[in-house]
Amino acid sequence: DIQMTQSPSSLSASVGDRITITCRASQSISNHLNWYQQKPGEAPKLLIYAASTLQSGVPSRFSGSGSGTEFVLSISNLQPEDFATYYCQQGFLSTSITFGQGTRLDIK
Amino acid sequence: QVQLQESGPGLVKPSQTLSLTCSVSGGSISSGGYYWSWIRQRPGQGLEWIGFTYHSGSTYSNPSLKGRVTMSVDTSKNQLSLKVTSVTAADSAVYYCARRERSGGNYYFDYWGLGTLVTVSS
């Protein structure tokens, strides 16, 4: 299996801040990396696929970058609704999909 | 707009079989082009991919579940089903069904159900 490691596991920020979350893969996955947002009691929501492509309807303050083994999710001008848990997911192996452990973003 | 809705018993006894159904609306499973997946999330934990199924009936499950998983589709009802046998407390989780999309060799989940909580307890 390809292991996905996110850092940090949690972070605190304020409305208006810019934050970054890193996701590292245990082997190269090209740009086959996807990001999800999950709020308490809700299903995950697809934010970004193929490392940097914004899913339809997702605000432009979200952006993704990276390739190979290191990827970054950035959120600029944090809004109250952005405080949630974020997961990365490798889509390189169709028969062995794996997720990162999640990064919890709290209000400072 | 594709919508998915999981349903099934919220409580299952240890060693028994967990059975869930996912009803799909806004799109036909039999039209092809998509694989349909099951994903679970233990309380307070991350996401674990269980497996996927296709309208043809082909399936693939996560080897970590050691052959305890059976997935199927009922195209007449536009539903998916999941069975997990010999459950233990470790199988207690919120179970999601999701549509797997593919783009340029990258696989991701673009539509998710709301999830259903299953607790394994006597």
B29 CA to chain A: closest CA distance, Å? 19
Alpha-helix runs per DSSP H in B65-104: none
Beta bridge partners of B53: B36, B59
pLDDT band at A54 (very low <50, low <70, confident <90, very high): very high
Any chain B CB within 8 A of the CB of A101? yes
Residue A25, pLDDT score? 98
Residue B33, pLDDT score? 83
CA distance A72 to A93: 20
pLDDT at A56 over 90: yes
A73 CA to chain B: closest CA distance, Å? 16
B92 CA to chain A: closest CA distance, Å? 16
B106 neighbors B114 (Cβ within 8 angstroms):
no
Per-residue model confidence as pLDDT tens digits over B65-122: 989 999 999 999 999 999 999 999 999 999 999 999 999 999 999 999 999 999 999 9
CA distance B110 to A13: 28
Residue B91, pLDDT score? 98
Both tokens assigned to B117: 């909580």
Per-residue model confidence as pLDDT tens digits over A7-24: 999 999 999 999 999 999
If we measure between CA atoms, which residue out of B79, B27, B69, B28 comes closest to residue B49? B69
A103 neighbors A21 (Cβ within 8 angstroms):
yes
Residue B30, pLDDT score? 87
Cβ neighbours of A46 in B, within 8 Å: 108-110
Of A31, A97, A101, the CB nearest to B46: A101
B112 neighbors A43 (Cβ within 8 angstroms):
yes
